[in-house]
A and B are shown apart, each in its own frame.
Chain A
Amino acid sequence: MERFGAGFLIAAVVTFLLGFFLQGIMPVMTLGNLPLKTIEEIAQDVPPEFYQLAEDYPVEFKRSFGEANPQSFAKALRIGKENYIAEACWHCHSQFVRPVAREDLRFGPVSTPDEYQNLMNLPHLFGTRRVGPDLIRESGKHSNDWHIAHLYEPRNVAPYSVMPSYPWFFDEQKRPTERALGLVAYLQWLGSWQTDTAPPSIYNEAQMEKSK
């Protein structure tokens, strides 16, 4: 009787480990060969949008990050990701492009594992729901100003949007704080490592926006 009872506990551990090996450890082993980048290594490639951010909001940028360089970019990425998680942005925006449903035409190149082998993806933010569009190819699709206006009140730039507004990312003068700038830097980083993030000519959302 006692042995029998313990048998179920042991069976639970064994079946868990079997599943964990097949669905967890094996992917870890397969992807283990890919080099892992730290946030500082990533931040060496500062996208042009970050320098642009320093020009667009000089006072606020200086107050938050100082000069635009790899060090301040690393800081901005960390703050951006922190707020992306705190506001649970990833509940409504995914971060991978699938090879099906013409997603490569809508968003850009299909995601590959090496893109996620860095400490910005600890924890990963793949997401399982898209109320808003995928963001892994967001870099360069919209201007910094668009993002700032969008965070303050999404319906000002996208009338159909159901996204919440985030006025607490702004100070009393409605100027962006460190949190808004960090989040924009993070969004403009997503996909900046891709050489062709611009949507293919067949699908240009900005163009559609104008023709509406």
Chain B
Amino acid sequence: MDATADDRPFVNLDLVRWHLTASAFFMLVSILGGLAYAMQFNNLYPFSGIEWLSPGRVRMVHTNMAAYGFIANAFMAGLLFAIPRLTKQPILSDKLGWVIWGAWNLIMVLTIGGQLLGYGQGIEWGETPIFVDPLVLVGLVLLVVNMSVPIFRSKEPGLYVSLWYFLAAFGWTGLVYFMGNYLPQFWVPGAAGAAITGLFIHDLVGLFITPIGWGLMYFFVPILLRKPIWSHALSLIGFWGLAFFYPMQGVHHFLYSPIPMYAQYGAVVATIAVEIVVFTVIVNFFGTLHGRADAVRGNLAIRWFYTGMIMYAITCFQCAFQVTLTFQKVIHFTDWVVGHAHMVMFGVFGFWIMGFFIELWPRAVGRPWANPSLLTAHYWFTFIGLIVMVIDLTAAGLVQGFSWMSLSHWGESVVASMPFWWARTVAGVLIVIGQSIFLYALWITARAPAPVRLTDAVRVQAA
């Protein structure tokens, strides 16, 4: 990835730029919503008494914009960049690309509006209003068509591991979205519906976000480190292990619920299996880093990627334990799970997306980063904020869980959680500061006078 000139024949950098812009915008919406919601727990909610800004509704905006506004938009930018370069083919149609951009971000606006006006759906991670769901499915199908045609047209001798993940995700995403938003809503009531909701909660992360995230890592990391992936065999194990075990563990979100016990046991076993498998992927990436570890210090994109990777390792390790019935007795329904979710969605995939921004934004706007030291500040504010939040919520979860088990009055668990909820808000403020610095850096870079020729100045030298 040396010069923008190389990207031009295949990559539509305007589309990449607008997807990144939309991603950054909805990220801001999401984190501001999250911060406001956190302040409710300190009895400091800024919009108290305003119906359409009720905390319950804002929470839906927070989670949905994180997944569909921030992460999905950034992933589309990544795919628009990676697929044409891997296949040496342009996407099917640039016009269709713009239609998808417009449709997807219209969906985001309709989702925010619908949820704030009281039309949120009663499905976790599927709170997108019912009238938006068909539009999402159409958008996803168009996206899959637009992105998979270059893969099938490619004349390259082999299919690189990134493309395995992308193709699998293309196969999964529409099915997952349809299953989760329609079956429990219209056809499957009660405990069986909960089993399907559990699958949806899990598959959205596991079969949409995870494969595209890893596919993009397999694309970016070897290029930035200028060396091939350490082990092809481990890539194979990681992919097929994920493909086989990930789709069969949804019920672990409802352990000890009235869902049949065999489904719960199966989910636990499959979850522990997949955690072992994903460690092969992590080993593979650290094997790749071996001998180039200086890049973590010198290259900010690599630093974001590998910070996220360590978070991923922690998450998976944690998950293999928290999914057991023993842990579930205490930690289920507590803030432990909220901490886990933040570590996965933001600490892993959000951090990787920051790396994509570092690499793609200068190309997309045709200018080097205007002020790289801002990006270093962004990293540290965000990283410290997230770490504080995760540790704090994990500890809060234990306090809450044991408080409930002790049969003390419900209010005791609320009072005991107060200091943790304050720390969570402070951590949220740190993240918002970090992201604000980042948005400012994006803005001044895009607004800087155009350089005559883009050179290695693109490379960010972080202190």
Q: Are A15 and B243 in contact (CB under 8 A)?
A: yes
Chain B contacts with A in 223-272, Cβ cutoff 8 A: 243-244, 246-251, 253-254, 256-260, 262-263, 266-267
Q: Are B415 and A203 in contact (CB under 8 A)?
A: no
Q: Are A5 and B167 in contact (CB under 8 A)?
A: yes
Q: Are A31 and B191 in contact (CB under 8 A)?
A: yes
> A149 interface residue, CB < 8 Å from B?
no
Q: Are B404 and A27 in contact (CB under 8 A)?
A: no
Q: Are A101 and B404 in contact (CB under 8 A)?
A: yes
CB distance from A128 to the nearest CB of B (A): 6
Tell me whether A86 and B120 are in contact in the complex, defined as CB-CB below 8 angstroms, given that A13-B175, A162-B414 are known contacts. Answer: yes
> B286 interface residue, CB < 8 Å from A?
no
Q: Are A85 and B122 in contact (CB under 8 A)?
A: yes
Q: Hey, which chain A residues are within 8 Å of B164, CB to CB?
A: 8
Chain A contacts with B in 142-183, Cβ cutoff 8 A: 158-162, 164-168
CB distance from B89 to the nearest CB of A (A): 12
* Cα–Cα distance between A197 and B262 once the two chains are bound (Å): 28
Chain B contacts with A in 297-336, Cβ cutoff 8 A: 328-330, 332-334
B412-426 Cβ-contact flags toward A at 8 Å (1 or 0)? 001100000100000
> B10 interface residue, CB < 8 Å from A?
no
Number of B interface residues, CB 8 Å?
97
Tell me whether A85 and B247 are in contact in the complex, defined as CB-CB below 8 angstroms, given that A23-B267, A161-B414 are known contacts. Answer: no
Q: Are A160 and B190 in contact (CB under 8 A)?
A: no
CB distance from B156 to the nearest CB of A (A): 8
> A105 interface residue, CB < 8 Å from B?
yes
Partner of B259, one of A4, A27, A94: A27
> Which residues of chain B have a CB within 8 Å of any CB of chain A?
40-41, 43, 45, 48-49, 51, 54-57, 59-60, 118-124, 127, 148, 151-152, 154, 156-159, 163-164, 167-172, 175-176, 179, 183-199, 201, 203, 207, 243-244, 246-251, 253-254, 256-260, 262-263, 266-267, 328-330, 332-334, 337-338, 401, 404-405, 407, 409-411, 414-415, 421
Q: Nearest 10 CB-CB pairs, A to B?
A: A12-B171, A19-B247, A116-B190, A19-B248, A88-B56, A8-B167, A86-B118, A160-B411, A98-B256, A130-B333
Q: List 29 A-B contacts (CB under 8 A).
A: A1-B157, A8-B167, A11-B171, A12-B207, A13-B171, A16-B176, A16-B247, A20-B247, A23-B250, A24-B183, A26-B263, A28-B192, A86-B119, A86-B120, A88-B127, A91-B56, A92-B56, A96-B258, A98-B256, A111-B257, A115-B258, A122-B185, A126-B194, A128-B253, A129-B337, A159-B411, A160-B411, A161-B414, A165-B49
